Amino acid sequence: MMQQFSGSVEVVCGPMFSGKTEELIRRVKRAQIAKQRVQIFKPSLDNRYAEEEVVSHSAQAIRAESVDGSVDILIRLKDSTRVVAIDEIQFFDENIITVVTKLAARGCRVICAGLDLDYRAQPFGPMPQLLAIADEVTKIHAVCTVCGAPAVRSQRLSKSKEHILLGEKDAYEARCRGHYQLDESEEQALLPLEVEKRLANEQLSH
Ligand code: ADP
Ligand code: MG
């Protein structure tokens, strides 16, 4: 069956404080100006500021529905909805990929915002798959709190090893690659180039 509207998947990603939520709100408001029906979702896990709102670090806010899991988005979808916006999408389970694909197949424009990397600078949850299936990807930067350069990583300030540690300005800072530091125990020492080459050659010969 051909759809009346063609769906799409947009992803806005970057570190904390990069303006992902602001950008999601900006896109949602423009869709609303165009009189399109919008539904906004966020994982219920993230109730840092408000239960039923998506709020940016610059205090912009928009009403949102909190959902426990990705299937709840399909359960709550209204027939008239043309645009679905999902914030903090990195917190959803892998099934979010199927849900987003189904929404786009139904003709919805799906706007997703989430962290590309976790605090250890590793890809966050379903983000690699989501970025691969997206029609459009926007990577945005914050400002490095040390030097002011474009920040691409989220520096955790506490020593906690929890994968998810919700927090505000006191828990994380935006950092550029150079000023981002892992815990000493996890730090990979930068080897002299000669040593790096010898290791690479050893790998080849195996
Ligand atoms: P995200 O959703 O990516 O965490 P938000 O949209 O909530 O980001 O917030 C972006 C806003 O955060 C910026 O417009 C700015 O006002 C504020 N901000 C605070 N610290 C920084 C920083 N280090 N770099 C950039 N913006 C920052
Ligand atoms: Mg945000």
In the chain, where are the structural domains located? 8-204
Residue 56 beta carbon below 6 angstroms from any ligand 1 atom: yes
Is there an atom of ligand 1 within 6 Å of 58 CB? yes
How far away, in angstroms, is 20 Cα from ligand 2 center? 5
Q: 8-204 adopts what CATH topology?
A: Rossmann fold (3.40.50)
- Helix or strand run (H / E) with residue 101: helix 96-105
Query: Are residues 55 and 21 in contact, defined by beta-carbon separation less than 8 angstroms?
Result: yes
Cβ proximity of 179 and 144 under 8 Å: yes
Residue nearest to atom 16 of ligand 1 (CA): 58
Please tell me the pTM assigned to this model.
0.92
Per-residue pLDDT of the chain (206 residues; tens, 9 = 90+): 555 668 999 999 999 999 999 999 999 999 999 999 999 999 998 666 667 899 999 999 999 999 999 999 999 999 999 999 999 999 999 999 999 999 999 999 999 999 999 999 999 999 999 999 999 999 999 999 999 999 999 999 988 778 778 765 679 999 999 999 987 667 777 899 999 999 999 999 98
